[in-house]
């Protein structure tokens, strides 16, 4: 049986600042077009756009997170694999996620999906696959703390059982 699922959501403060600037720009444009009520209209449109972008574009990622919360790790693996494929194909969407997704995420969606896949492997007793994937993540993203500590944890527990 799996433990409660840990969630990590590091924020990029630069992305946060970019999003605030985009929001202010929406308010300014709509204030120019519709006078005082334009600030409200711009804010509403910004927030609707923000929620829509974060639900539609990373749909596979979101489905994977829902599957993890239900402890359905096999289904989550499929969704995260689709997410990795999408963000590999369209890496510019992930690279500029502060603008394309209005996301403050510090980790790229591809990186998050790979970490989530490795977590799912560890929850389905596929430690070898989890280990290999965490090593791959560290090669691509050397500063990934999730992969570093998870890999250390796997290695510690596997050494105790030898």
Residues 83 and 48 both lie in one domain: no
Q: 106: Cβ–Cβ under 8 A, 6 or more apart, which residues? A: 10, 11, 12, 15
Q: What average pLDDT does range 34-39 have in this prediction?
A: 91
pLDDT at 2: 46
Q: 38: Cβ–Cβ under 8 A, 6 or more apart, which residues? A: 27, 29, 30, 31, 32
pTM reported for the whole predicted model? 0.86
pLDDT tens digits for 59-93? Answer: 999 999 999 999 999 999 999 999 999 999 999 99
Query: Residue 59: which of 83, 30, 87, 28 has the closest Cα?
Result: 83
Q: How many domains does the chain have?
A: 2
Q: Is residue 2 in some structural domain?
A: no
Residues 41 and 82 both lie in one domain: no
Residue 105's region, left for phi above 0, alpha for psi from -120 to 50, else beta, is beta
Residues 117 and 153 both lie in one domain: yes
pLDDT band at 7 (very low <50, low <70, confident <90, very high): low
Residues 17 and 94 both lie in one domain: no
pLDDT at 162: 46
Q: Is residue 5 in some structural domain?
A: no
Identify the domain containing residue 152 by its residue range: 59-161
């Amino acid at each position: 049986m799996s433990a409660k699922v840990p969630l990590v959501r590091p924020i990029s403060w630069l992305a946060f600042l970019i999003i605030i600037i985009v929001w202010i720009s929406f308010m300014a444009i709509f204030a120019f077009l519709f006078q005082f009520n334009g600030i409200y209209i711009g804010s509403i449109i910004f927030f609707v756009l923000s929620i829509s972008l974060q639900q539609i574009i990373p749909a596979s990622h979101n489905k994977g997170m829902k599957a993890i919360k239900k402890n359905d790790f096999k289904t989550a693996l499929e969704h995260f694999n689709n997410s990795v494929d999408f963000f590999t194909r369209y890496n510019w969407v992930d690279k500029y996620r502060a603008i394309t997704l209005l996301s403050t995420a510090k980790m790229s969606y591809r990186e998050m999906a790979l970490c989530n896949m490795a977590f799912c492997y560890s929850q389905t007793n596929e430690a070898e696959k989890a280990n290999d994937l965490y090593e791959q993540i560290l090669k691509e993203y050397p500063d990934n703390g999730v992969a570093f500590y998870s890999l250390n944890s796997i290695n510690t527990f596997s050494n105790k059982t030898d």
